[in-house]
Amino acid sequence: MSLKYIRENLAGKLRAHGINPTHQRLEIAHALFSRCEHLSADQIMAIVNERHSETSKATVYNTLNLFLDKKLIREVIVDPNKVFYDPNTSPHYHMYDVESGRLTDIDAAPVRVSGLPSLPAGMVTEGMDIVIRVRPADFPH
Amino acid sequence: MSLKYIRENLAGKLRAHGINPTHQRLEIAHALFSRCEHLSADQIMAIVNERHSETSKATVYNTLNLFLDKKLIREVIVDPNKVFYDPNTSPHYHMYDVESGRLTDIDAAPVRVSGLPSLPAGMVTEGMDIVIRVRPADFPH
DNA sequence: CCCTGCAGTTAGACAGAGTCCAATTCCTGT
DNA sequence: ACAGGAATTGGACTCTGTCTAACTGCAGGG
């Protein structure tokens, strides 16, 4: 599976979500989807501009918000300082290592949650986030 | 139950958590515990300085972080822009109205979660956060 | 009663994430 | 080649939160 192949897939993926696949958008999508990690905006900008500065901060944010809007990626809010962007849009939850800041996926399929109250009238669920905060056993509390 | 009574309780509460109850700390504790809501740092500062400016930004943040440290309050991270401080330290989860930004408690007692994977070796759980994101049914998607 | 010392508070400078805007560049269709 | 809309850009700006160095105020000892 060549890089070219990945990129062509990416362009199709963007189009499938109604996004015009420009050069910068492909770069950013590639950063997110090639390594399947949770990245923050500044990490993405660093990756995209590794060789030589090609993409501005404004574009990175524009693009990420566009991707969010078109439901190509998800936003994970666990750290008060920054948002993580998650290329995995299948139902899943997260485990957050508070020491290292590392974020791991938890498949939602086997998870069952019961005993939740019913929603207030006129409200609908957008989604449910579960974050398990963990730390190394020897980490100074 | 007079205001005085509430305040004396508060002072005791702070002392019980190893916090020296100064004037500013009591003001901030009162803002959080009298109305049992989820407030952000700037909301707290606005409340405390309603009459005349008495408490600086630095003190508000110092105090909130001190309260967090001493486990008098909890931090709720649902909004990318700001942290909410939660005076309710009993086990509970949250419902977040993405339109209004309003945050409501969900008692943890009746809730059961099963099917979670086991923790990686050497890791311990700090806690589990569940956030149900809701919106009005007629809210423009 | 006045020192001394320390905990708490303060203003303001600073840092980092994210937004906004006006100007420019890039495409695409003709 | 050209016009027009979409995308991108740098830079200024806002906002949340932190840091620092100076200041305040109180408690305990002489």
Contacts of residue A77 in chain B, CB cutoff 8 Å? 77-80
Share the mean pLDDT of chain A. 91
Q: What is the pLDDT of residue A134?
A: 94
- Angstrom distance (rounded) from CA A73 to CA A63: 11
DSSP letters, B79-137, are ETTEEEEES--SSEEEEEETTT--EEEEESTT-EEE-PPPPPTTEEEEEEEEEEEEEET
Q: Does any CB of chain B come closer than 8 Å to the CB of residue A106?
A: yes
Q: What is the pLDDT of residue A9?
A: 87
Q: What is the pLDDT of residue B1?
A: 47
Q: What is the dihedral of CA B13, B18, B24, B27, to 10 degrees?
A: -20
| pLDDT tens per residue, range B4-26 | 555 668 999 999 999 999 999 99
- HSE-up of A129 (CA within 13 Å, CB side)? 24
Tell me how many degrees the CA angle B69-B12-B75 measures, rounded to the nearest 5: 30
Cα distances (angstroms) measured from residue A91 to each of A14, A109, A118, B6, B113: 20, 7, 21, 45, 16
Q: Does any CB of chain B come closer than 8 Å to the CB of residue A122?
A: yes
Would the CB atoms of A125 and B116 count as touching at under 8 Å? no
Q: What is the pLDDT of residue B141?
A: 63
| pLDDT tens per residue, range A49-72 | 998 878 999 999 999 999 999 999
Backbone angles phi, psi at A8, to 5 degrees: -65, -40
Does B140 score more than 80 pLDDT?
no
Q: What is the pLDDT of residue B71?
A: 95
CA of B81 and C1' of D17: distance in angstroms?
11
| pLDDT tens per residue, range B44-92 | 999 999 888 789 999 999 999 999 999 999 999 999 999 999 999 999 9
| pLDDT tens per residue, range A92-112 | 999 999 888 889 999 999 999
Q: What is the pLDDT of residue A2?
A: 47
Does A8 score more than 80 pLDDT?
no
- How far does A69 lie from chain B, in Å, by closest CA? 10
Q: What is the pLDDT of residue A99?
A: 85
- How far does B81 lie from chain A, in Å, by closest CA? 8
Q: Residue A88 CB closer than 7 angstroms to strand C?
A: no
